[in-house]
Structure 1
């Protein structure tokens, strides 16, 4: 027996003093309401209504049980309201790349608050973001995809030690320490970098026997399709095999970069945040591609809202977009906003 449905039939009949009006109030057929009342009477072992008169009258037994039935229904209603409120206020976790800056992540949380959605942010490597969407531990995430198929694209470039005459005056290129961390951000290097430019120079005045600097990959760029693509591009450019290697701890990678011993593949916001010089890669097929996705395990987050597409793109450092991320109506709006921000 569905006790709540039967108690609702009982209380509605008392309130309306009519089986037909009670049935209309509950949106059920009168015979069904009558069966529920009879079943409830059998369950409690006593008559709830006196059916010997034309007017429905509540028996003494029914009057005695009425306040308890009303209390059960009131508590049930409060429980349902609390559940609805909890669903609305539940924190929806967003998976973001590990190299996003704190301010960018804070903007994601703030945007959620402005739209009445409690968002939490987790910085995770690419494979953890995809698995989080699959198991429902993440509501939304930026998923790595090839840039040519991506609704959001993030330019990648090479970070290196600032020149000796950089604004912070660190002289880190010639091994003068780790200056630049915490100083004003160096200007963006002019012009895009071709991988061929990384080959050792030949001829008079060129340093003989000097090998090209190693190129470090952050965890975000160690996804197989991206690393393989970069490796093939470097081979075509005539660069030695094995020049690519994982960055390891970010602090160590930055220290090596600032000391002029390696180059680091990263985004411009990351380079500016950490005080290293940066120049974009000319080959856009080597840039990052992202698709904002929602978890199928969380019905409340069935789609990525257009406002979230925009703030996720900004947080990841996206510089271009095309339709395909988030809901259909939101994509055009997100693209327009991203275009307005350059």
Structure 2
């Protein structure tokens, strides 16, 4: 006999003073619960329920047993919760600081619902990844699992895409630097960007690394253009203009270190987690960015969240785009 199971049924009947109500609360059929009660009485050798009355009542033996039965059921539930809590593996996920915190919060909740506590950290550079972890790394867009388009962030902008070569300064006018944010300065991203800048004919002296707060301040003052994603531009109230020919992309990949919980190795929880990571990074279509999908060499998920909005929104009357300012 499963003593805890039968005592749980007895406690429910004692609380509700109704077999039908107790059965409904426990999610079992009434006849099954009645059989469990009688089996418990046979096991203990006493009657627990007075069935001679119209309304169910506890016998003296039932009333004496109730507090002990309730305590045993509560202890069993506590034991299960404790074991689950102590054995649940903690998922360590290292994500770059440009991730959307709201989406990371949703990811935390999603994994918690699957009994997978999540610990968020920042990538540690060249240090080895810890066992049982996921790490989101920047990489060359050609080998990326998620890609996010880069564009020109400035105080003014236009709805037309601008060629990278269009960011060259006009003849006779002061050059406006193109400031590059930290995510695009890590190898091999810096080499890929340097090649694109060289091919576009931009002077290397105009392309400068910059921390986010300095770059945004310079752009808002109209003294520089920031190379950034659409979401980064919106967050800092910059107008974003897409850059094409060549398209500039920020690439990310997922480094997985075994052993991982089974739920993250395959299945719906893994798929949803990868989808949310892509969304947090700013990748457009998470369905095309599953690391289990073979990279075809084409750009995948390159539409930033919200870039369907009119890029010209917020453009001041008579304002020029970064291309118009530089060409």
- Rg comparison, structure with higher value: 1
Which residue of the other structure, out of 118, 130, 135, is the alignment partner of 2:130?
Answer: 135
Task: Indicate the residue corresponding to 1:148 in structure 2.
Answer: 142
Task: Indicate the residue corresponding to 1:220 in structure 2.
Answer: 183
Task: Indicate the residue corresponding to 1:210 in structure 2.
Answer: 174
The structural deviation recorded for 1:116 is 3.1
Task: Indicate the residue corresponding to 1:121 in structure 2.
Answer: 120
> For residues 35-65 of structure 1, what are the alpha-carbon distances to aligned partners after superposition, in whole Å with 9 as ceiling and x for unaligned?
xxxxxxxxxxxxxxxxxxxxxxxxxxxxxxx
Q: Is the 8 A contact 1:214 1:244 kept in 2?
A: yes
Aligned-residue CA RMSD in angstroms? 3.6
Q: Which aligned pairs between 1:234-253 and structure 2 lie closer than 5 A?
A: 234-248=197-211, 250-253=212-215
Task: Indicate the residue corresponding to 2:275 in structure 1.
Answer: 310
Q: TM-score, normalised by structure 2?
A: 0.57
> For residues 157-215 of structure 1, what are the alpha-carbon distances to aligned partners after superposition, in whole Å with 9 as ceiling and x for unaligned?
1111146xxxxxxxxxxxxxxxxxxxxxxxxx41222111111224xxxxx2422x222
Q: Is the 8 A contact 1:295 1:302 kept in 2?
A: no
Task: Indicate the residue corresponding to 2:93 in structure 1.
Answer: 94
- Matched residues in 2 for 1:285 and 1:87: separation? 47
Change (3 A) 1:284 1:294: farther
Change (3 A) 1:242 1:296: farther
Q: Tell me, which stretches of 5 or more residues in structure 2 are unaligned?
A: 1-77, 294-299, 309-327
Which residue of the other structure, out of 238, 255, 263, is the alignment partner of 2:217?
Answer: 255
- Matched residues in 2 for 1:275 and 1:340: separation? 16
The structural deviation recorded for 1:339 is 12
> For residues 254-283 of structure 1, what are the alpha-carbon distances to aligned partners after superposition, in whole Å with 9 as ceiling and x for unaligned?
111211111111111111111111112214
Q: Tell me, which stretches of 5 or more residues in structure 1 are unaligned?
A: 1-77, 164-188, 203-207, 329-334
Task: Indicate the residue corresponding to 2:253 in structure 1.
Answer: 291
2:244 is the alignment partner of 1:282: yes
The structural deviation recorded for 1:229 is 1.6
Q: Is the 8 A contact 2:230 2:304 kept in 1?
A: no
Give the secondary-structure state (helix, strand or coil) at the position aligned to 1:191: coil
The structural deviation recorded for 1:113 is 2.7
Give the secondary-structure state (helix, strand or coil) at the position aligned to 1:261: coil
Change (3 A) 1:118 1:233: same
Q: Is the 8 A contact 2:150 2:227 kept in 1?
A: yes
- Matched residues in 2 for 1:227 and 1:265: separation? 13
Task: Indicate the residue corresponding to 1:63 in structure 2.
Answer: none
The structural deviation recorded for 1:79 is 9.6
- Matched residues in 2 for 1:297 and 1:210: separation? 56
Q: Is the 8 A contact 1:216 1:253 kept in 2?
A: yes
- Matched residues in 2 for 1:220 and 1:244: separation? 15
Change (3 A) 1:103 1:85: closer
The structural deviation recorded for 1:309 is 0.6
Change (3 A) 1:254 1:123: farther
Q: Is the 8 A contact 2:149 2:304 kept in 1?
A: no
Q: Which aligned pairs between 1:158-177 and structure 2 lie closer than 5 A?
A: 158-162=152-156
Task: Indicate the residue corresponding to 2:235 in structure 1.
Answer: 273
Aligned residues: 221
- Matched residues in 1 for 2:251 and 2:258: separation? 22
- Matched residues in 2 for 1:339 and 1:275: separation? 16
Q: Is the 8 A contact 2:179 2:225 kept in 1?
A: yes
